Amino acid sequence: MSLDSMHELLIEELQDLYSAEQQLVKALPKIAEHVVTPSLRSALESHLRETEGHVGRLEAAFTALGERASSKKCKGMEGLIDEGSDRASKRGSEAVRDAGIIAAAQRVEHYEIAAYGCAIAFARLMGHQQVVALLEETLAEEEEASEKLSALAEDEVNQHAFAVSTAMHGGH
């Protein structure tokens, strides 16, 4: 597809997001298997259910634009998931690994927040209010997920990981 119009650019953004969300649906359960902190595991499982809804909203956005839902391989998400999966499978302190998984998940959320923000701007510019509403609903969930991850990291996981690593390695 060429990029001769804003409509084509919006479709390409939606295809990228559709691929990204589908990749996450597959990856989140595998990453969650490595998590030991119950509240983090619960947050990832909850976000998996939301992500399945994101896929459905993207399908509705394609329909609203008169397009067939299709994906274009999101290489950015593929790389972020590879990094997260690598971190999740590392040996060592489970507490520290959980802190690392949150850091990787935050990268994913920020990538999605940026991508949804761009797609919303394009759809708004073209007057596609139904698409804007669908994407804004997902953007709000992505922002909430990011805030939950930050709170989990700051209030629980990072402190526990630091305490465990300090006890084992004297603060290094």
Helices and strands of the chain, counted as H and E runs: 6, 0
Task: Provide the CA 134 distance to its chain's centre, in angstroms.
Answer: 17
pLDDT by residue, tens only, the chain of 172 residues = 578 899 999 999 999 999 999 999 999 999 999 999 999 999 999 999 999 999 999 999 999 999 999 999 999 999 999 999 999 898 888 999 999 999 999 999 999 999 999 999 999 999 999 999 999 999 999 999 999 999 999 999 999 889 988 887 665 5
Q: How far apart are the first and last CA of the chain?
A: 51
CATH of the structural domain 6-169, one choice from 3.10.129.10, 1.10.287.1080, 1.20.1260.10, 1.10.357.10? 1.20.1260.10
Q: Which of 61, 150, 137 is nearest to 103 (CA)?
A: 150
- Which pair of tokens denotes residue 73? 């391989």
Give the model's pLDDT for residue 165. 83
**Largest Cα–Cα separation, the chain:** 60
d(CA 72, CA 59): 14
d(CA 33, CA 30): 5
Total-model pTM: 0.92
Give the model's pLDDT for residue 1. 56
